[in-house]
Amino acid sequence: MLSRQIRRLIVTGIACTVVSWGVPSQAQELIIGESQTEEAEAESISTISKVVTTQDPEIPIDELKLLVKPLTQPELENEAAAWMVLLRQKVQEISDAEIVVKRENRSIAKQEEAVKALEEATQALKVAEESKAVATAGSPEYEEATRKIEEAQENLKKAQEAIEEAATTKAELQEDETLQSVIEEAKETSQLERAKQAIEQAKKDREQVDSWSYEYEEITLQIEDLEIAIETYEYAQEIQANTPPETWEYEDATQQLEAARNSLKQATEAILGVDTNSPTPTEQSSESFDQTADSLSNTTIEGNLEVKVASVVEETPSIENLEEKQDQLEKTTEQLQENAEAESELKNQLVSNIVELQAEQTAIIDRFEIVLDELEKKGGAVDSYQNYIQAVSTIEIDLQDTEGLGVRLMGWLKSEEGGLRWGINMSKFISIVIASIIVSQIIGLILNKILSKFSNTSDIFRQFVVMLVKRGGVVVGCMIGLTALEVSLGPILALVGGASFVIAFALQSNLANLASGLMLMVYKPFDTGDEVKIGDIWGYVDSITLANTKIQGWGKEEINIPNNTVWGNTIINLTSQDIRGGMIKVPVPFTQKITEVERILQEIGESHPLIIKAGTFPWEYAEYYVYLCFSFKTKTPDFWTVWSDLMHSIQERFEQEKIALAVPVQEIRVQSTSNGEFPQPSVGLSQKSLQDYPSTVHTS
């Protein structure tokens, strides 16, 4: 017996020892696991706490640029992830609101369809009632009444189906908590807008009242109470938005917001003179819709008139029954119209909220891109973020919803991130372009005056440089203006660079002309108005462009020569100097004294007032005469005037001095034939004229 007790004690001791060894180890493992979890959580919290740029999502962009500049790549990646979360939340809010708008549009469309069907049913019953008053069995009026009541039945059925679909849509909205919260937010916004409009209207009404009257003081007190209620409501909204959910502080903030909402509602209805216990237009429309749906579902029109219309004609109660049905359908139609209008107002408020959310999304994207730009500079990958931004930045608009489209447009125009922003950017763009035009014109005028003082500068080169400055300044101004419109110049410059390469390869000959045009402008072999010889072409330079040179010929014809051809040809500028020389060759026969002719030519040259210097000298011998060259110098603008005067003077003086100019001699030999007759000469002279000539005739 004792041995058994001893054994039990030994076993118990061993068990206690094992348990004592196991429990500390398990406790130690538990402590280690808990410590690792706490470290992970602390690390996660520390990582979240490191996010600094999203603490104020409305931080000014210039401050944000300075804030992200010292951050490292891992820190910027953390910041980008935080902004991504904000952007995704905002996109989700917009998507939820868009879904609600689409469902509201479907509900409104079905209600309008029901209204149209009920109006047609009411009209059909009215015609049937008129036909019944004079109908007899088998008469045309009887058949018309039967047909109209059947038509009313069909329209009533359509209205009931449309109302059922609208009710289904509203039930789906009420079942979805997320979409229902969007609707509640729109109702709150609508209530706030209603309060602000009430203040504006009350202020206008107060202006029509004497300032010393009791009514004036009462309206003033109501306005002050409503303003305080609005401020309290907005403050409560801000407190709730900045409080973490699922905390006692959030519950307290929600209660305060609800109290502020009730105070706002009471203050608004007090200033509008509305019963505070009456439902809001939205609540009233919801109740009205339910009542209308129930009323319409219980409405029937008995229609076997082939048996019943005859009795209806004979019995007045049946006619009264039709009138009752007609009145009931008219009331139902009015209720549906009012409900559709109330839902349309709610839908418009939702659209207005969407515009505000899109403005907030734009502001988030602007700041997100600042972080991404800095992250990309420091080697981070931003493609996935950029793709997401590009995907969510597109806006889809339902063009069939004209009323909603108008609300979107007006909201966008009033939004700081929408119409106002683009209006400011557009004004900046226009201002920059106008300033660039003015500045480039001023710089062009100054440059034109400076280049005009240098005599060795070509007029065409000067005009080209001035034109380049003026037009280039406008182009630069437009490029800078595009940055004001938030257009990135990088893709534009890349596109221009790629297009320039393709154009340069395809237009090689044209580029050669452009290069030659620049060479002509820089080296100035001639200028506009100069008399030049380019190869076989002789005329005056009319204009020079980068592509070609225009020459005006002696017959006033216009000759366009590619600049590449001009630069590669022989160029003779006849008017490049202030003094131009000329030479007239005078053929003098051997029978005339050369010295006498030289004296006469010298006298002609010295007597002309525009000739600066004149002289003569023998040039060369010919077969029957010798060439005397009469050279002269005059001012370049007077050259052709002097040339013409000299030609006239030489001819007149030679006639006075009986000096004959040498001319080429042509001999024509005419021989008689054996029969004494003259053959027909090859020069076409008549036989009569040839009888007066000897055998050898000299003609000039």
The pLDDT assigned to 84 comes to: 92
pLDDT digits (tens, 9 = 90+) for 243-260: 877 788 878 888 887 888
140-148 average pLDDT score: 71
pLDDT tens for 619-672 read 888 777 888 888 999 999 899 999 999 999 988 888 888 887 776 656 566 555
Average pLDDT over residues 78-86: 91
φ, ψ at 159 (rounded to 5°): -65, -40
What interhelical angle do 214-241 and 248-272 show, nearest 10? 160
pLDDT band at 46 (very low <50, low <70, confident <90, very high): very low
Per the CB < 8 A criterion, the answer to whether 346 and 190 are in contact is: yes
When pLDDT is averaged across residues 292-311 and rounded to a whole number, the result is 46
Region 389-416 average pLDDT: 77
Distance CA(108)–CA(113), nearest Å, equals: 8
Q: Mean pLDDT, the chain, as a whole number?
A: 75
Collapsing DSSP to helix, strand or coil, 44 comes out as helix
699 versus 118: the higher-pLDDT residue is: 118
Which pLDDT score is estimated for 131? Answer: 65
Sheet with 579-589, side-by-side order of all strands: 579-589, 625-635, 611-621
User: pLDDT-based confidence at 591, cuts 50/70/90?
Assistant: confident
In whole angstroms, what is the distance from residue 361 CA to residue 98 CA? 14
Q: What average pLDDT does the segment 304-312 reach? A: 33
* 317 bridge partner residues: none
Q: Of all helices (H) and strands (E), which one includes residue 616?
A: strand 611-621
- The model's confidence at residue 500, banded by pLDDT at 50, 70 and 90, is confident
Mean pLDDT of 155-183: 74
Residue 278 scores a pLDDT above 80: no
Q: What pLDDT, on a 0 to 100 scale, did the predictor assign at position 331?
A: 75
Percent of the chain with pLDDT over 90: 8
Residue 14 has a pLDDT of 45
Share of the chain above pLDDT 70, in %: 75
Q: What is the pLDDT of residue 633?
A: 92
Q: What is the pLDDT of residue 434?
A: 92
The predicted model gives 586-614 an average pLDDT of 88
Residue 309 confidence (pLDDT) = 30
21 versus 517: the higher-pLDDT residue is 517
Q: Phi/psi class of residue 541: alpha, beta or left (left: φ > 0; alpha: ψ in -120 to 50)?
A: beta
Model confidence band, residue 399 (pLDDT cutoffs 50, 70, 90): confident
- CA separation (Å) from 29 to 20, 228, 598? 15, 59, 134
Residue pair 402/348 in contact (Cβ under 8 Å)? The answer is no
Q: pLDDT band at 539, cuts 50/70/90?
A: very high
Q: Are 324 and 301 in contact (CB under 8 A)?
A: no
Burial 569-584 (b: 16+ CB within 10 A, else e): eeeebbbeeeebebeb
Query: In Å, how far are 237, 315, 509, 628, 693 from 589, measured between CA atoms?
Result: 119, 144, 55, 10, 24
* 203-218 average pLDDT score: 81
Q: Which residue has better confidence, 11 or 523?
A: 523
Q: What tens digit of pLDDT does each residue of 110-142 get?
A: 777 777 777 777 777 677 666 666 556 666 766
Give which of 100, 107, 126 is closest to 292, Cα–Cα: 107
Q: Is residue 596 predicted with pLDDT exceeding 80?
A: yes
- 590 or 277: whose pLDDT is higher? 590
> Residue 536 pLDDT more than 80?
yes
pTM for the whole structure: 0.54
Q: With a cut of 50, say whether residue 1 has pLDDT above it.
A: no
Tokens of 49: 């706490």
Average pLDDT over residues 494-500: 76
Measure the CA–CA gap between 527 and 520, rounded to whole angstroms: 9
